[in-house]
Structure 1
């Protein structure tokens, strides 16, 4: 266990040394600061105002930015160590493959989740200073959703990093997966729905397997329980799930998905030629 935390600490230290962690933190912290400067908390749209509207805007942008940030900074975690022969050096110490792999995951999870969480925490503290209403329920639910989304894409990223041979290939694969989940899957499913090749329920079920999609739906449902902005899709979701059930599904499913990918990644990592 000591070696696992040591690997996590070394990964965190390396992330700070390479400056990407600082840039990553400035991106999300800068978004929050920009929202306050732009006066988002003083305006009202569709009944949303104050910190509720700020968090809504923040979470919608995070859906797009967070997955690609996690993928491009994590897929090179193992493959990059292999390219630079750091992996060979680390394994020369009395450290097991399990400690190395899960230590890297723990360290990388800290570096990708902490800036996103701290940015929201900063928004709440600033809201207290200016004496605005604090939406604690939305804050805790968004924290859980961000934790789940981070877990899902971190597991996917380590799965990719466990079998690719070079960092360039890892980046290409991760970028394709991000584009596919973000845009192509929605376009393909809408096309199939318009051509009536499959039942709507089957198509929407496939869409809900996409962690980015269920994150988006769950985030919207917190402000719009009727999901009126989603059109016909809302009727199927509301008929299938209660809002509470769907939010719980949106939290636990991505965590489980990320854990499964991480386990498969470890099995591949442990069996293949490491050097």
Structure 2
């Protein structure tokens, strides 16, 4: 276990020396600061105001930015160490492959999750300091959604990083994954498909395999339990799963898939020519 946390610590230090970490932290911290300056928490849109309004806008930003940031910055972890011979150097020490791989996972998760959760806390503190009500349940559930979102894309990134042969392919693959998932982000468009011959449940089931869509639906349900913004699909989701089960699915499903991809990446890492 000591070697595991040592690798995690080294990965965190390496991330802190990289420019991407500060860009990543500046993007989310800067966005939250921009919300404060623009007075967005004082506006009223669709009945939301104060901290709820601030979180609603922050969700829309994270849906687009967070996945690609995690994929691009993480997908080079294993393959980048292999190309730069850092992996060969690390394995010259008495460190097992498991300690190296899972240590990298832990360290990288810390560097991608902490900045965004810090930005969220910053927004909560600011909203509370302005005399707004603090919706603890909403904040905690949204934190859980962010955790699961980070976890699944971290797992996908490590899986890709374990199977590709170069960083160029890794980065290209991450963009392809992001674009494919983003293309199916709007479940409202499925309403058009429901007019066809395909089974309604099958179409919606396939859509809910998309982690970005799952995060979006879970986040929307925090503010709009009736899911009125996604149209008639809401009736099917609420009648089939229910509001509570839908929220549990939105949190648990990405974590399970993230663990699965992480484990598959570890198996590929062990079997692949390491050097």
The TM-score normalised by the length of structure 2 is: 0.96
- Aligned equivalents of 2:100, 2:42: Cα separation in 1: 48
Query: After TM superposition, what 4+ stretches of structure 1 lie above 4 angstroms from structure 2?
Result: 184-187
Q: Give the corresponding residue for 2:240.
A: 240
Matched residue of 1:44: which SS? coil
Question: Which shifted more, 77-86 or 131-140?
Answer: 131-140
In the alignment, structure 1 residue 272 sits paired with structure 2 residue 234: no
Which structure 2 residue ranges, 5 or more long, are not aligned? none
Which structure 1 residue ranges, 5 or more long, are not aligned? none
Q: Give the corresponding residue for 1:30.
A: 30
- Aligned equivalents of 1:103, 1:68: Cα separation in 2: 22
- Asked whether the 8 Å contact 1:192–1:198 carries over to 2, the reply is no
In the alignment, structure 1 residue 104 sits paired with structure 2 residue 94: no
Q: Aligned runs of 1:1-275 on 2, under 5 Å? A: 1-184=1-184, 190=190, 193=193, 196-275=196-275
- Aligned equivalents of 1:119, 1:185: Cα separation in 2: 24
The TM-score normalised by the length of structure 1 is: 0.96
- Asked whether the 8 Å contact 2:145–2:251 carries over to 1, the reply is yes
1:134 shift after superposition? 1.3
1:184 shift after superposition? 4.7
Aligned residues: 274
- Asked whether the 8 Å contact 1:67–1:153 carries over to 2, the reply is yes
- Aligned equivalents of 2:186, 2:28: Cα separation in 1: 26
- Aligned equivalents of 1:83, 1:72: Cα separation in 2: 17
- Asked whether the 8 Å contact 1:15–1:21 carries over to 2, the reply is yes
- Aligned equivalents of 1:197, 1:73: Cα separation in 2: 41
- Aligned equivalents of 1:11, 1:52: Cα separation in 2: 35
1:239 shift after superposition? 1.1
* Gap change, CA 1:233 and 1:113, over 3 Å in 2: same
- Asked whether the 8 Å contact 2:156–2:261 carries over to 1, the reply is yes
1:190 shift after superposition? 3.8
1:193 shift after superposition? 1.8
1:184-207, Cα deviation, whole Å (9 max, x unpaired): 5759x8498267241111100000
